[in-house]
Amino acid sequence: MSLDSHALRETLGLFVTGVTIITTRGTDQERIGITANSFNSVSLDPPLVLWSVGKSSRSLPHFEAATHYAVHILRDDQAELSKRFAKSGPDKFNGLNTEPGLGDAPLLPDCAARLECSLYGQHPAGDHTIFVARIDRMQSDASARPLVYHGGRYAELADY
């Protein structure tokens, strides 16, 4: 059975996700970052998370070579930041005040949470590479409202 890729994308878009920006230090020591909603927790012991990067991404070789990453869980008012890192192009970090995290991975300010991670494993999976990372250090703001994504657009989280 062959699946229509457009219908599959729409169907998977029904699943609400949070929005993250993953950063690392590139092979030439440049700051690298991408928006990813393919983020998930894997394990509490050891503390592991995963995300995936498309094999056509120009950032993929930098993530494959890296030993450290920072995962930024975005606040509900950071949609523009998410859009900036979702596009390819010139320095996505231009005008942002970052600080160095573990392994010199750039840390973005004012996120709902920041997870500083080290490489645990990489796995090819179809048209993506899955990265599994161990959380070595974290910061979070439990009162923050997360940025969410649904049906190809940003959405608001509702309380019930």
Q: From first to last of its 160 residues, what are the pLDDT tens digits of the chain?
A: 678 888 988 888 888 899 999 999 998 999 999 999 899 999 999 999 999 999 999 999 999 999 999 999 999 999 999 999 999 877 899 999 999 999 999 999 999 999 999 999 999 999 999 999 999 999 999 999 999 999 889 998 888 8
Q: What is the pTM of this model?
A: 0.93
d(CA 70, CA 133) in angstroms, rounded, equals 10
Q: What's the structural domain count of the chain?
A: 1
pLDDT of residue 8: 87
What pLDDT is stored for residue 35 in this prediction?
Answer: 96
Contact 70, 101 (CB under 8 A): yes
- Domain-embedded: residue 80: yes
Separation between Cα atoms, residue 116 and residue 35, nearest integer Å? 16
Q: Is residue 120 part of a domain?
A: yes
**Residue 96 within any structural domain of the chain:** yes
Domain assignment present for residue 160? The answer is no
The β-bridge partners of 98 are none
**What is the reported pLDDT for 111?**
97
Residue 1: predicted pLDDT: 61
Range of the domain at 134: 5-155
Domain containing 35 — which CATH number? 2.30.110.10
